[in-house]
Structures are given as structure tokens and as C-alpha cells.
Amino acid sequence: MEKIYFDHAATTPVRAEVLEAMLPYFTEQYGNPSSIYEIARSAKKALETARDKSAAALGADPAEIFFTGGGTESDNWAIRGIAELYENKGSHIISSRIEHHAVLHTCESLKKRGFEVTYLPVDEDGIIRISDLEKAIRPDTILITIMTANNEIGSIQPIEAIGALARAKGIAFHTDAVQAVGHVPINVKSHNIDMLSLSAHKLYGPKGVGALYVKKGIPLRSFIFGGGQERGRRAGTENIPGIVALGRAIELAVSEMEEDSRRLTALRNKLIDGILASVPHTRLNGSKDKRLPNNVNVSFEFIEGESLLLLLDMKGIFASSGSACTSGSLDPSHVLLAIGLSHEKAHGSLRITLGRSSTEEQAEYFLKELPPIVSRLRDMSPLYEEYLKTSRQRISK
């Protein structure tokens, strides 16, 4: 049976060109870039080439790119770094209700240290309102941290407007762009972004490596203490193979973005239309058009997303019911609750995230397999039975 990987928002495979680029840095070119002999110099050169490529992808200066151990570390560093840097200026942070846990839990940790956090609500499409942001800004606001694109429902925020407002008010603006970089166009200069987090494994690079863009002039302090790597801002011997891979992956992603985006948007819409047409009592979660090209998120009434995932798995289809980080917990997704879903509907959600391996044939196979699986689950569902009973009573009245 063919395996259909529909979970690219959880992680992506390392693509061949990226693996090829990183391999020599495990074996022949294993030097520590802080040393001075030949194999160290070539490692140092590879590090700086990767920095140039990462900067070019964002419209940043290479001196503004700092490599980290992934998206989570970048988010922690940006938020805690600003809190520490500006704690004498103020103690108020603005974020949103639909952030990744790497941002939410970091903000929560700061609350315990006396910071106040306003989590902006989102509309039914999963997008913040600029007027809400304007109202939330206070004289003691030191940071706005709002994600570029959501990992669960794919909604894309008005980053440019947020950045412009933050700049006008003199407030630092960080965005978690882990789901957006390499998928939708981003330019840190025209979008007025002060700090941006990204991660290699969401764009066909390896896990455990990412970057934080920090605008020149923001003296964000080191978050990890030790040696003087990354110009004294991020200690620890550099993960050269990973960083080389990130540079290659981001370069490829950006150069292929337009074409990939066109192809995936068509495939995404085919899936959304097909699901809504073939399964009754189903809704699309998130915006129709302000949405990542690869994201489908739907809720099926009367069923449990987890059971749906198991039956899809038996058909060789790998998808997600919310975010991989929260599975294993029975709490419904905070993102789906934030866009107004009931607990019941949030539990019946399915996320499909497409990628380079996704094809028309896979979409067709999925659309053929899905309706009987949903029917089977509904036939076993006491909620559905209840619904049928009350609707029959309504008709007979």
C-alpha cells in the first residue's frame, strides 16, 4: 500500500539536495569553525554561506541571522530576550490566542515573573483585528509577538500592518514564521519585522536547527552561555551540517515557492471542496483565502478526530487531528476554540497539510476513502444517534 504523508506541518522529510549538501560536513569537512586550519576554515565558510542564503530568503542582512537549535529555541530567545532587555521600560506583552505552544508557554513563564500578557482574540477565520491590537497597546508594552501563519488552521496574519503599528509605537515586534518561511513571501524590511523565528524541519531540512533574525540595533542578549559563537549571541559549537542544510533548504524553498504554492493551492482547494461536498455536517476551519497553500482543516460533527486518524492510518494516510504537540492530551485545540468552535466540534477536527510529495492521485484516493470512514464512525456515535432521533422528531411534528 502506498503511504500518503499528509502531515507536512508536523515535519517534512529532508530532501535529497539538502542531504547531499550536508553530508560532507559530517565526514570530510568536520572541522570546528572556531579553529584556524584548512578544514576549519571550510566549515566556517560553509557557515557564512548558509547565513547569506538565510538572510537573502528573508530580505535581511547576514549579520542579522543567528542560528539556533530550532523554532522553539528561537521563540524562547526572542520573547525572553526582549523581556529581559526592556524590563525597566515596561512589563506588558501582546500576543494572540492561537500561537504555537513555544510562544504561549514562554509568555506564561514570564507571567510568573511579573509580566502581563494580553492574548488577542481572533475572528472566525483565525485572524487578529488590527483595531484590537491598537486598543491593547499600553505605554508599558514592550513586545508584540504574533505568528505569521498558524500551524493548525493555516490562517495568515496581517503582518505588514502589525509591523507598521509596532514601529509607529516604538514596540519590538517578533513573529513566529516557522510555518510561513519558504511557503509564503516574507520580507523582514517591508513587513517591519524586528525578530523572526524559523525552523529547518518545516521546509525539508533536518530537525534541531533553526534561526532567529534579529534586526540590527536590537541588543538581544545571549540566551545560552558559553563560548563566543554567533558573535557572542548564541554559545555552543555550531551545528555545521544542520546549518548548511538549512541554508540549502531555504534557498530551494524560496526559489520554488511560486510554483509550489500554485500547485498546492489547487490541490488544497480540490480537497476542501471535495470533503465539503461529500461529507455532510462538515465545516472548514480557518480562512478560505488568507490561508497557507498547503493547509486543510475541517471539523466533522459527531465524531472523534482521533478515531478518524486511526482509520485513515489503516488506509495508509497519515494526517493530524490538531497539532502533533497536543496529541496525547485530551484537551481540544486552543486554536479551534479561539475561532469559536464548541469542544465537541473541535474534537472532530482533521488537519491535512500537503507538501512536495502530494499528488492529485493521493487527493483522489483520500476523497474516495474518507466518506465511508466518516459514515462508519457516525454509525457508532451516540451523538449522531441522538441527532438523528431529534431531527426525526422535528420532522414528524
Active-site annotation, residues: 325
Minimum CB separation of residue 175 from ligand PLP in Å reads 10
Minimum CB separation of residue 192 from ligand PLP in Å reads 20
Q: Site for ligand PLP (CB under 6 A): how many residues?
A: 15
Instruction: Measure the CA–CA gap between 70 and 81, rounded to whole angstroms.
Output: 16
179 belongs to the binding site for ligand PLP (CB under 6 A): yes
Minimum CB separation of residue 358 from ligand PLP in Å reads 18
Query: Measured from the CB atom, is 202 or 268 closer to ligand PLP?
Result: 202
CA-nearest of 320, 324, 326, 267 to 297 is 320
Read off φ and ψ for residue 260, nearest 5 degrees.
-60, -40
With contacts defined by CB under 6 A, name the span among 65-73, 89-97, 114-122, 233-241 that binds ligand PLP.
65-73
Minimum CB separation of residue 116 from ligand PLP in Å reads 23
State which of residues 47, 78, 143, 178 lies at the interface with ligand PLP (CB under 6 A): 178
Query: Measured from the CB atom, is 105 or 129 closer to ligand PLP?
Result: 105
State which of residues 7, 64, 176, 251 lies at the interface with ligand PLP (CB under 6 A): 176
Minimum CB separation of residue 336 from ligand PLP in Å reads 15
Residues 183-212 that bind ligand PLP (CB under 6 A): 199, 201-202, 210
**Do residues 84 and 76 make contact, with C-beta atoms less than 8 angstroms apart?**
no
Minimum CB separation of residue 269 from ligand PLP in Å reads 22
Three-class SS of residue 172? Answer: strand
Q: Which CA distances in Å does 73 have to 130, 144, 197, 227, 235?
A: 28, 18, 9, 18, 13
Q: Which CA distances in Å does 38 have to 34, 42, 134, 227, 325?
A: 11, 6, 54, 21, 42
Query: Measured from the CB atom, is 101 or 283 closer to ligand PLP?
Result: 101
7 belongs to the binding site for ligand PLP (CB under 6 A): no
Q: Which residue is closest to ligand PLP by CB?
A: 71
Residues 78-117 that bind ligand PLP (CB under 6 A): 100, 102
State which of residues 12, 54, 145, 151 lies at the interface with ligand PLP (CB under 6 A): 151
Minimum CB separation of residue 75 from ligand PLP in Å reads 6
Pattern 209-238, ligand PLP, x by CB under 6 A: -x----------------------------
With cell 534586526, the residue in question is 215
Neighbours of 24 (CB within 10 A): 15
Instruction: Measure the CA–CA gap between 145 and 115, rounded to whole angstroms.
Output: 14
Three-class SS of residue 282? Answer: strand
Residue 179 falls in which region: left (phi positive, over 0), alpha (psi -120 to 50) or beta:
alpha
**Do residues 176 and 72 make contact, with C-beta atoms less than 8 angstroms apart?**
no
Neighbours of 343 (CB within 10 A): 10
182 belongs to the binding site for ligand PLP (CB under 6 A): no
Read off φ and ψ for residue 239, nearest 5 degrees.
-80, 75
- Amino acid letter, residue 203: L
State which of residues 31, 33, 71, 163 lies at the interface with ligand PLP (CB under 6 A): 71
Question: Which residues here bind ligand PLP, judged by CB under 6 A?
Answer: 70-72, 75, 100, 102, 147, 151, 176, 178-179, 199, 201-202, 210
